[in-house]
Structure 1
Amino acid sequence: MKKLKKNRLALKFEKSNGKLHRFSIRNLNQELSPEAIKAALEKLAIVDLFEKDGVGSFKKAVGAKLIETTDTMFYDENDEELNTAALQRAAALNHGAEKKEVLIRIPEDLIITAENPEPGILIRKIELPAGIDPQDLDDEQTASLLSACLPENPQIEDAWLEDNVFTLIEIIDR
């Protein structure tokens, strides 16, 4: 197993028409202080270089957050050592064990909440029932569960799993 750490700075600016503009910067220099980042964002707003259809994209810096993720690599066709270790772990886990059946009635067993913190953004939380470990769900079950709780063709900006709650940030009707 290999762990790859990544980070990105998620930025939010107010446009000249009052709507929000979001973007992110990947692999940010971790040594920058929050004050230095804020100063850089304010300079970007002052310069006023970016415009689309007469609307300035960076009129006012509204927010910034650092998002850190760790990707755990289980398989890579070019990494024989990693793949051998993964096969050995899988064989050890599956030795004499049967696949655990997970039964969730959708939506009866779920606690689904949604909040609209600002126009165009919907934060949806999908909580699994007590006693259900998300790790017991395979990829197909997880995809089916999430798609049953979302509208058709959602625009997901970010998603994560914490404890037994899936959190999804959707972009809606801009």
Structure 2
Amino acid sequence: MKKRFHVDPMPFERRVEVFVRHNDDHLAHQQTVEGGISLEEKTSRMESVTKSIANQLVIQIEIQARLSDAGTQVETLKKCRCELLEELSHLKDRLKELEPTLHDLQSQEANSIADLSTIKLREQKLRAMTVIPAEKLEIVESFKSHLTQRLQTSKCLTGLTLIA
């Protein structure tokens, strides 16, 4: 629905009336001072007044057109504002729908972090259990070499017994 702005013409008409009366008063004063005004001068002044009035009318029409355009723009902006508010309302509703999903994802993330921490602790424990300290490794190596020597000695003895 298009609204038209209406500018009250009375103030303008009042201004024209005051202007014409002032001009007439000025002309009357000038007549008494100068003893009369020529018809050409009076015509020239009346043309000037007429042009001034015409210019004022053109300005008033332009103002009314601008106000009408501004009114249309205001209506368009109001419609856009209503549409944006409606869209905002839909977005808020959608956000409320997504909040439980967000909470679920956050709890899953927290659980995953806890599980990962547990796995890392288990891994560290297993590594600690399988790592042999260097000094124990030396003992194991010396025991291994000792067993290897005994095995070779026993093989030699077994070979000798078989020969004998």
* TM-score interval, normalised by the smaller of the two chains: under 0.3
- Structure 2-normalised TM-score? 0.16
- Report which of the two has the higher share of strand: 1
**Who wins on radius of gyration, i.e. which is larger?**
2
- Report which of the two has the higher share of helix: 2
